[in-house]
Amino acid sequence: MEITTIEKAFVLLSTLGKQVAQSGKAPVAAINEIEKALNLRFPNTYRLFLSRFGAIKVGPITIYGLSLPVDDEPSLIWALQGLRSIFPDMPKNLVPIHPVEESGLLACLQCQQVEVSTDDAPVVLWDMRAPTSDQNFEPVSPNFAQYLYDRLSEWKYREIGLKTLEKHVNRFENEYLSINKLPRNHIWRPYRFCVQDVVLGLVVVRHSLANNCLDVDVCLISDAPEYEQGSGARMTSAFLLSEAYKCGGTMEIRFTENVEDGTVPKALWTFAQDLGIDLHHVNESRITSSEARQLYIALTGFSDTLRSQIDLLAQQEKLSQERACYVVHHGIWTRTEVESIVFGSLRPDGIFSGDTPPEQRHLYMQEIFHTRATILGGFLDRRLARRERIEGTLALDLEDDTRRVNIEFDPTLYAKIYQCDEELPIPWLESHRQKGFHIPAGHRLIVLVRARDANDLVLHLQQDLVIARKLAILSQQQSAASSVFILTPRDSQELPSQQRAQFVKAAEASSVGLIVCPETVVTLDADAAKRLASSRILR
């Protein structure tokens, strides 16, 4: 198997021709001599590479080996001498073969001692920026042959992809951008995905009218060391699946010959495997409709209970699974808000699609009411998750500085249940006695969401307090560490002061807290109508 893979790498090198700068062949005696000096045994595939090429440079890829002069790159002797002078505690069994571009990582063969006979050695990554004692040296490739072939293939596919991308970008700028025209879905459209100045993905897509699927002509994915592994594949997958749904096709995705010789990109296939989704047609240049739907659901990251409910409603033809994913990826709803809609609404698909016209008054107002409540709960979700850091008199707004809050939804009580592994401050408290109240770590926070205007609060708030009181007593009887609150819009402050004081007093007597969101029903309804309209026109 190793010989087959190494020969594939050699064939690929031969097709690259003058793009490969090699340092000549190394005689067997020279290979034996350096093994003896290092007291290590090179794997057979690396020995074969040394005997045929010595060392190579292909574009940004440098593979260390036996070359002249020995005191310059890409000489293995030069690399070892320099590394061991800088890192005297470098493990003796590591043989550097490839400096990973601008990452501070070095790919190394983890060899055996010379007296140990072996045909193979894994390739591991050594982070030269971290202390050697902190390294775990997990294999990134099972052997040198596979590592070499993968790196060469990636470079080849990237060169083809960049050339193809350049043609699409030039055409797109000339035919559309220069005249401020937007292309239709069946036109090739280039996209770039970046975080600040780091490019994570480059794609060119169109909707195939003939096959009713999404065609992909360029798909380049990168993994930046400063971001979580798989970020590029996650972002690109989310876009391709969302685009496949938005264009109105079957959700099938097909890749042209310009994408890794007409196969599903390895980064996407690996990412799908990590999510537990097997793509059975990777060599047929496509992701089937059913595979795309499974991947979309897994990628969106719904909780197990929510995913089961979505599957059940989809089987009953009451909900589109893809639409539930799409509204999350396009920022219309968060995952926790989707959970509130799926479990709390009678017609969740109507909210996600926005198809109910205002002329159907009763249905539309019902959807507005559930949407309003979901938005109100979403405000509290984000407020509880956000940390507030104060230095002196300045409030610091740090990116991704959020708490890990577990959020569940109880449709029976129409309540949100929060739990955090750190102390949780409660915002917008109505009672002055409770100002600055914090929920201890691990404590449950149960919040009844009541998105009512002032008139409805007068009619129903007393009954809500009774329900909350019973819930608080039940939690005490079950020895469950819980605190119960009622969340309302700012309309509660429009109540007469005497009546409002009575509600606050009744809540304090019942050991129930009142949380008053700064938003009013009017603003919540305006946001609800906007989201329904956005859902209606998105696809």
Give 186-217 pLDDT, tens digit per residue: 999 999 999 888 899 999 999 999 999 999 99
Q: Average pLDDT of the chain?
A: 89
Mean pLDDT, residues 382-393? 82
Integer Cα distance of 351 and 369 in angstroms: 11
Q: Looking at residue 478, what is its pLDDT? A: 74
Instruction: Summarize pLDDT for 35-89 with one digit per residue, the tens.
Output: 998 989 999 999 999 999 999 998 889 999 998 888 888 899 999 999 999 888 8
Q: What is the pLDDT of residues 481-538, one digit of tens each?
A: 789 999 999 998 888 888 888 998 998 888 899 999 999 999 999 999 999 999 886 6
Residue 265 tokens, joined: 């990109």
CATH number 3.40.1580.10 given to 2-145: yes
What pLDDT is stored for residue 132 in this prediction? 66
Residue 114 has pLDDT above 80, yes or no: no
pTM: 0.85
Average pLDDT over residues 368-388: 94
Taking residues 465-478, report their average pLDDT: 86
Residue 117 reports pLDDT greater than 80: no
Measured distance CA(65)–CA(24) in Å, rounded = 10
Fold classified for 183-300:
Aminopeptidase (3.40.630)
Task: Find the distance separating the first CA and the last CA of the chain, reported in whole Å.
Answer: 48
Query: What are the domain boundaries of the chain?
Result: 2-145, 183-300, 334-524
> Is the pLDDT assigned to residue 396 strictly greater than 70?
no
pLDDT in tens, 133-182: 666 787 889 999 999 999 999 899 999 999 999 999 999 999 999 999 99
Full 3-state SS string of 229-284: CCHHHHHHHHHHHHHHHHCCCCCCEEECCCCCCCCCCHHHHHHHHHCCCCCCCHHH
The percentage of residues in the chain with a pLDDT greater than 70, rounded to a whole number, is 94
Cβ-defined contacts of 271-277 (< 8 Å, 24+): 271/230, 271/233, 271/234, 271/237, 272/237, 272/298, 274/230, 275/299
pLDDT on residue 2 = 45
